[in-house]
Structure 1
Amino acid sequence: MYPVIKGASYDLIHTPGLMMQQIQGRNPELCTLTEHLRTFASAVGYPPHQAFIGNILPEDLPTVSRPWYKNLLSDTTRQGQRGEIVPEDEFLGLMKVVDEFELVCLEDSFQKAILERLRTNSAVRALKGVCEPSAKGYSLWEIQEMIQKEDALPLSCAGMTKGCVRRGSTTDPEHSASRVAENIITKASAVIALQTLFLKTGLEPSDVDYVIEASEEACGDLRQKGGGGFAKSIAEACSCLKASGADIRAFCAAPVHALMQGAALVQSGIFKNVVVVAGGCSAKLGLNASVHIEQKMPLLEDMLGAFAFYISENDGINPIIRTDLIGRMNVGCGDSPPVVYRALVADPLAKGGYKITDIDRYAGELVNPELIEPIGCGDVAKMNYKMIASLGVLQGEFERTQIEAQIKRFGVPGFAPNQGHIPSGVTYIGPACELILQEKISQVMIIGKGSLFLGKLTHLYDAVSLIIQKNPGDLFSLS
């Protein structure tokens, strides 16, 4: 029987301080332009963020006038149906909570105050480092000493130093303070997403069998740069004591690969409950800051994203993953868009006896267009939908004059932060499952695409797709 998706969680972390740190490394002269920073309230009211955490549907975004950063939603809250928006000071506290090697050092009074606040957060208050804090705080003088004499990386909030991240080794560049910070940031944000998943679904940590981590970071050391360890470390932090796990890497396509593999593990009977999780990527913060400043925009790339999915045995209720209808970009596809989309979309649909028009929604590369249009990238999500619609014309399913109408019918607007793997099609799984359970739609295709050429090993890129479908309900009829 096909496995089901029993839940999805999505969290955002507002990190202007971490963003400015990234900008300083790339373009130091921009670091003084703090008037372009958003407040936390502005980040909460930003329409795409409310779609990400589940308070509105992505389909509602076209009804909000653009630019969205000038048309914030009123009466918004940081809490959403599928997650929350976390302020930077709380996130620094969570970085400390998940740090196993005493490398995150926070000023003592700041640390105590933040831990007190985290104890009121329903999602994370059960974490051991929150409910039973044992790590000591530091004086501001001690933190400044570590920054100046030990090459520690400063951690700031509202322009004030609140702590630092120390290097893991004096000889291994893979354990520099900046690399350690990148890893802990990914881990901490993923922990938030997994804890949110537990809160939203009722899944108990002790019932998780396997964790697949699908972010873009790769932790290791000088002799094993991408050895891995995020999945097990996240499971450990979230008290999934019976779980094993591993990391999967495929650039932006990794989350869909992870869902496919998680579904296969459940359908095969190897595991009952599999979690797919991914944290944020700090290296992508402020990536296009110079252009946004030139356009007199706020620095919108100040958000880390994170998500988690719960895959389990068929219950006759929740949406199924059609493991028999996986689309994939084979090596022989090359990089011709028509060939790629035929392999990703038309071929798996034809195998199941479906047409392009039978799919209610297509979701792929859901990056918020407001972040990338100023740099000339256009609306990437809509460009993908044009390719799918064109394929429908070539197959004789509708006329060329109907392309825009079809795109409006099946295209999910981009709404995710510019975080590489975070905008992959999986960002829509939560809304898709909600609409399927409400019987408003029946089936959705999720597409993940990745730029393999970035690793300088091949000119190829990667893509994989899967279909999420309404559960027939009759367990005896399911294959």
Structure 2
Amino acid sequence: MNSVIKGSGYCLAYTPGLMLQHGSTIVQERLVNPDGEFLKEMGKHVRSFEDCVAYWPNQVYIGNKTPEEFAKVEFPYFDKKVENAKRYGHFGEIMPENEFLLLAQACDCFEVFYLDKDFVAANKGELAKDPVITEAILARVQEGVENSVIKGFVDAHEAEPLFYEGKLVGCVKRAHDIDVNLSAEVMLENLMNKASSVLAVLHSLKSSNVDPLSIEYVIDCSEEACGDVNQRGGGNFAKAVAEIAGLVNATGADARGCC
């Protein structure tokens, strides 16, 4: 049996709100040194979405610039921008945080992901403009709830907050009262992982022109693992991602990767 690569999807999600609240280094720093300079200064050094798109390595990653062109750029790269940079590339895209949060909410099958109704109303149209986002995915985006509902879950320590441009716009609740494998932190991590995988699959389908209904097996190779107290890591991202991406005839399995 011979295997060939027919397509690929290279996607980045620009999520400064997630990073500043839930990034691993920041979470640890908040525990051991909550009054330190790192936390005070961190927010001042976050790049804008436009700067993220114009960053040379990112443009190479999504296929708008070649490695040969990149080799001519003098290091360091952070202070050099690609002129007229685009968020969409030959291989994929760089999705902004407002759209990514809606995509992540669409990936929630257990009603733990809540978004502010005004935030949804203001941004659903932007997600709809993405050429790989299907009507089926858009239909999964909930109308949202009052901000007071979200704040109530967060204040009761039942959910992890989601911020956009410094404002509380959503939360991810725990999926079980005592199972740490289904805590709000883990559910948030898993849903963001699932959403980014869905986006990559959608771009892979676009670049390959493969009929999603013809795909029979999916293998997920991300770094995360889902499951509960009885099967830690025994869940299945592959089949969960396939369901949202429209690969409804596919089964699959996870093979954990690491960076």
- Aligned residue for 1:4? 4
1:164 aligns with 2:174: no
Residues 189 and 74 from structure 1, CA distance in 2 versus in 1: closer, same or farther, beyond 3 angstroms?
Answer: same
Paired residues of 2:106 and 2:141 also in contact (CA < 8 A): no
1:211 aligns with 2:218: yes
Aligned counterpart in structure 1 of residue 82 of structure 2, from 55, 63, 73: 73
**Displacement of 1:2 after TM fit?**
2.6
Aligned counterpart in structure 2 of residue 40 of structure 1, from 38, 42, 49: 49
Paired residues of 1:206 and 1:240 also in contact (CA < 8 A): yes
- For the aligned residue pairs, the C-alpha RMSD in angstroms reads 1.4
Alignment of 1:60-459 (within 5 A): 60-124=69-133, 126-130=134-138, 132-133=139-140, 135-249=142-256, 251-252=257-258, 420=259
Paired residues of 2:103 and 2:141 also in contact (CA < 8 A): no
CA deviation string 1:58-95 (max 9, x = no partner): 23222012210001111110010010000111111111
Residues 37 and 57 from structure 1, CA distance in 2 versus in 1: closer, same or farther, beyond 3 angstroms?
Answer: same
**Displacement of 1:127 after TM fit?**
4.9
Work out the CA distance in 2 between the residues paired with 1:103 and 1:87. Answer: 22
Amino acid at match of 2:18: L
Work out the CA distance in 2 between the residues paired with 1:129 and 1:200. Answer: 19
**Displacement of 1:31 after TM fit?**
3.0
Work out the CA distance in 1 between the residues paired with 2:122 and 2:246. Answer: 24
Give secondary structure in 1 for the equivalent of 2:161: strand
Gaps of 5+ in 2: 31-35
Paired residues of 1:127 and 1:238 also in contact (CA < 8 A): no
Aligned length: 250
> Could you tell me the TM-score, scaled by structure 1's length?
0.51
CA deviation string 1:144-166 (max 9, x = no partner): 10101143100011111110000
CA deviation string 1:234-278 (max 9, x = no partner): 1111121111111012x33xxxxxxxxxxxxxxxxxxxxxxxxxx
Amino acid at match of 2:26: Q
- Aligned residue for 1:25? 27
Paired residues of 1:122 and 1:199 also in contact (CA < 8 A): no
Give secondary structure in 1 for the equivalent of 2:11: strand
Work out the CA distance in 2 between the residues paired with 1:37 and 1:94. Answer: 22
Identity percentage over the alignment? Answer: 36
Paired residues of 1:167 and 1:177 also in contact (CA < 8 A): yes
Paired residues of 2:17 and 2:164 also in contact (CA < 8 A): yes
Work out the CA distance in 2 between the residues paired with 1:90 and 1:78. Answer: 13
CA deviation string 1:184-235 (max 9, x = no partner): 0110000001111112221121011110000010100112111021000011
Amino acid at match of 1:179: V
Gaps of 5+ in 1: 253-419, 421-479
Work out the CA distance in 1 between the residues paired with 2:251 and 2:128. Answer: 28
Amino acid at match of 1:238: A
Work out the CA distance in 2 between the residues paired with 1:245 and 1:155. Answer: 30
Work out the CA distance in 2 between the residues paired with 1:228 and 1:72. Answer: 41
**Displacement of 1:20 after TM fit?**
1.0
Bigger CA drift: 183-192 or 65-74?
A: 65-74
Work out the CA distance in 1 between the residues paired with 2:156 and 2:209. Answer: 47
Give secondary structure in 1 for the equivalent of 2:202: helix
CA deviation string 1:128-182 (max 9, x = no partner): 240x246241111111101011431000111111100000011100111000001
Amino acid at match of 1:11: C
Paired residues of 2:102 and 2:141 also in contact (CA < 8 A): no
Work out the CA distance in 1 between the residues paired with 2:243 and 2:204. Answer: 15
Work out the CA distance in 1 between the residues paired with 2:122 and 2:90. Answer: 27
Work out the CA distance in 2 between the residues paired with 1:228 and 1:127. Answer: 27
Residues 123 and 129 from structure 1, CA distance in 2 versus in 1: closer, same or farther, beyond 3 angstroms?
Answer: closer
Work out the CA distance in 2 between the residues paired with 1:3 and 1:165. Answer: 39
Give secondary structure in 2 for the equivalent of 1:27: helix
Work out the CA distance in 1 between the residues paired with 2:26 and 2:158. Answer: 16
Paired residues of 2:7 and 2:205 also in contact (CA < 8 A): no
Give secondary structure in 2 for the equivalent of 1:7: coil
Give secondary structure in 1 for the equivalent of 2:78: helix
Give secondary structure in 2 for the equivalent of 1:153: strand
Amino acid at match of 1:31: L
